């Protein structure tokens, strides 16, 4: 039984993944997941994320367009994102970023869409939620060039050698259930060594269900396995780590403190 509460900083609670979101939210509540940030995955899911945030006090929206679909990003997408981002419950732009592992859109298209979204975030002074796979150098370069120093590397898959560069960008790092996988040695090392004041946690649900629930659809209630894994790597108390990650998430996304 646990009494501390946590924030899931990245949960795709969208109808394309869940038949009954209310049920998922009820279970999150029972598990003391007190706040969830719901990133859209493309321009078509932004309004759904905002609607959910409007309906539930403890949900916030992030709006953005994933690099996998960067081939569909155009001027019109940019204009719509800009307008939607002004909604008071939109706390970030994302997820956006670069994925040079799958390359489902061309690298040039991904770079253009990412640049455009960083500029929106910069204009509106909001953090950017970055998806980065096999493209760390290009991501670091673009963030440095545009000098937008608020955001998070979500679902971090890098290594401890990247920490100095990430600190220089003033970015946060968020860990998902991947950290509970036996072969995630470099990710575990990063969580062990990094500055605690930059750490967030997330599920990235419906994907990446942590051990020991592999095979099930991920949901916010499972975030405790990720938190407990990091606490054990750092030989610290889970409740203390929960409190620290809650405070970090509230700071980064400018969330109300007295919930
Ligand atoms: Zn995601």
Q: How many angstroms separate the alpha carbon of residue 69 from the centre of ligand 1?
A: 13
Q: What is the Cα–Cα distance from 225 to 179, expressed in whole angstroms? A: 9
6-253, CATH topology level = TIM Barrel (3.20.20)
Instruction: Tell me how crowded residue 82 is: count the other CB atoms within 10 A of its CB.
Output: 17
Q: How many angstroms separate the alpha carbon of residue 88 from the centre of ligand 1?
A: 21
Between the CA of residue 60 and those of 18, 85, 120, 185, what are the distances in Å?
A: 18, 12, 18, 32
Q: Is the peptide bond before 89 cis (omega within 30 degrees of 0)?
A: no
Q: How many angstroms separate the alpha carbon of residue 130 from the centre of ligand 1?
A: 9
Stated as kind and residue range, the H or E segment containing 43 is: helix 43-55
User: What is the model's pLDDT at position 3?
Assistant: 65
- Percent pLDDT > 90 in the chain is 97
The closest alpha carbon to 17, from 214, 221, 176, 219, belongs to: 219
User: What is the model's pLDDT at position 62?
Assistant: 98
Stated as kind and residue range, the H or E segment containing 130 is: strand 128-133
Q: pLDDT under 70 in the chain at which residues?
A: 1-3, 258-259
Q: How many angstroms separate the alpha carbon of residue 203 from the centre of ligand 1?
A: 9
User: What is the model's pLDDT at position 258?
Assistant: 59
- pTM exceeds cut of 0.75: yes
Q: Which sign, positive or negative, has the C-alpha torsion 40, 68, 135, 82?
A: negative
User: What is the model's pLDDT at position 256?
Assistant: 85
Instruction: Give the number of residues written for the chain.
Output: 259
User: What is the model's pLDDT at position 257?
Assistant: 75
Q: What is the Cα–Cα distance from 208 to 118, expressed in whole angstroms? A: 26
Q: Is the peptide bond before 41 cis (omega within 30 degrees of 0)?
A: no
In this structure, which residues have their CB less than 5 angstroms from ion ligand 1? Answer: 95, 204
């Amino acid at each position: 039984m646990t009494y501390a509460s946590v924030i899931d900083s990245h949960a795709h609670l969208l109808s394309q993944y869940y038949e009954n979101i209310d049920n998922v939210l009820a279970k999150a509540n029972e598990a003391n997941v007190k706040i969830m940030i719901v990133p859209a995955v493309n321009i078509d899911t932004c309004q759904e994320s905002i609607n959910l945030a409007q309906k539930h006090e403890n949900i916030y929206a992030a709006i953005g367009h994933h690099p996998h679909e960067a081939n569909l990003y155009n001027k019109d997408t940019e204009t719509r994102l800009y307008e939607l981002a002004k909604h008071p419950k939109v706390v970030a732009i994302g997820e956006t970023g670069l994925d040079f592992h799958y390359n489902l859109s061309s690298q040039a298209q991904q770079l253009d869409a990412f640049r455009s979204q960083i500029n929106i975030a910069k204009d509106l002074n909001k953090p950017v939620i970055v998806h980065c796979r096999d493209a760390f150098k290009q991501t670091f370069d673009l963030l440095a060039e545009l000098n937008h120093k608020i955001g998070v590397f979500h679902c971090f898959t890098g290594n401890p050698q990247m920490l100095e560069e990430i600190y220089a960008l003033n970015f946060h790092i968020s860990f998902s259930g991947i950290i509970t996988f036996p072969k995630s040695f470099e990710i575990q090392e990063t969580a062990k060594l990094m500055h605690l004041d930059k750490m967030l946690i997330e599920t990235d649900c419906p994907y990446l269900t942590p051990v020991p629930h592999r095979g099930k659809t991920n949901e916010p209630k499972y975030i405790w396995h990720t938190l407990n894994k990091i606490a054990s790597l750092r030989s610290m108390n889970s409740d203390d780590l929960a409190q620290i990650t809650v405070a970090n998430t509230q700071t980064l996304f400018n969330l109300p403190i007295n919930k």
